[in-house]
Structure 1
Amino acid sequence: MNILLLIAHGSRREESNLEIESLVKKITSLNNEEFDSVIHGFLEFASPNIEEAIQKCSDMGASSVTILPYFLSAGVHITRDIPEEISKAYAKNPNLKIKIANYFGSRDEIAEILIKTALDIK
């Protein structure tokens, strides 16, 4: 079983965290069967945290987890914090194959999405 784990920052504001849950539902609806399930986790301020989310993947029977960082730039969270949290979780789940996709903001299409967003004035 291959699970896509979307990692977001997390917020003290619950509405922001609910947006991530909604995004996971949208990703699930677009999934082309590459992933058996799509779930989310948070770096901080919300649950499940990364370690809990990876444990959930293991509990669901995953053999492979693809981590998708939902971040715009390669700051300290991408370069240090997330890899450290994944390492901690892997130590508890060494049978999982964990892959880390590039962060969202690294995509060339982000400029096009930003222009579309700027033009989408309500």
Structure 2
Amino acid sequence: MNRALLIVAHGSRREASNEEIRRLTERVRAEAGSSYHSVICAFLELADPSIPTGIEQCITEGAEEVIVLPYFLSAGRHVSLDIPQEVEVTQRKHPGVRIRIAPYLGGAEGISGMLLDCAR
């Protein structure tokens, strides 16, 4: 099955911040190897591509499953409401494609260890 990973960040008026996410996505793509058919990023607001556009790109590139990974530290409104709503809109257009939302970054198992590593 062709799986795609869509890393979703907030988006910023500061283009350097958006570029930081794009560079992170390139590093994830390189490390993922053949685990994912494609690895791209999208933004909730203030930058392109949007979440629906990002999902559409994954599907156009042949994804049968799209995993949406919220690059957010807490389960605020964006994680709990906005991202699921954006995903739902695109899911309705593509009922044959599995689109699922992975746990947000701040809720990941290894986050406490990563924080300690950064502090060292």
Shift of 1:33: 2.1
TM-superposed deviation, 1:67: 0.8
- Paired residues for 1:1-122 under 5 Å: 1-119=2-120
Q: Unmatched 5+ residue regions in structure 2?
A: none
Taking only the aligned residue pairs, the percentage that are identical comes to 43
| Distance (Å, rounded) in 2 between the aligned partners of 1:36 and 1:46 | 24
Stretches (4+) displaced over 4 A: none
CA-to-aligned-CA distance 1:16-39 (integer Å, 9 cap, x gap): 000111011111111142211100
Q: Normalized against structure 2, the TM-score is what?
A: 0.92
- Structure 2 residue matching 1:40: 3-state secondary structure: strand
Please state whether the residue corresponding to 1:73 is helix, strand or coil: coil
Structure 1: state its 5+ residue gaps: none
1-side partners of 2:70 and 2:19: how far apart? 17
Q: Distance in 2 between matches of 1:64 and 1:55?
A: 12
CA distance, structure 2, for counterparts of residue 18 and residue 95 of structure 1: 32
**What code does the residue aligned with 1:56 have?**
Q
Q: How far, CA to CA, are the matches of 2:33 and 2:48 in structure 1?
A: 27
Q: TM-score, normalised by structure 1?
A: 0.91
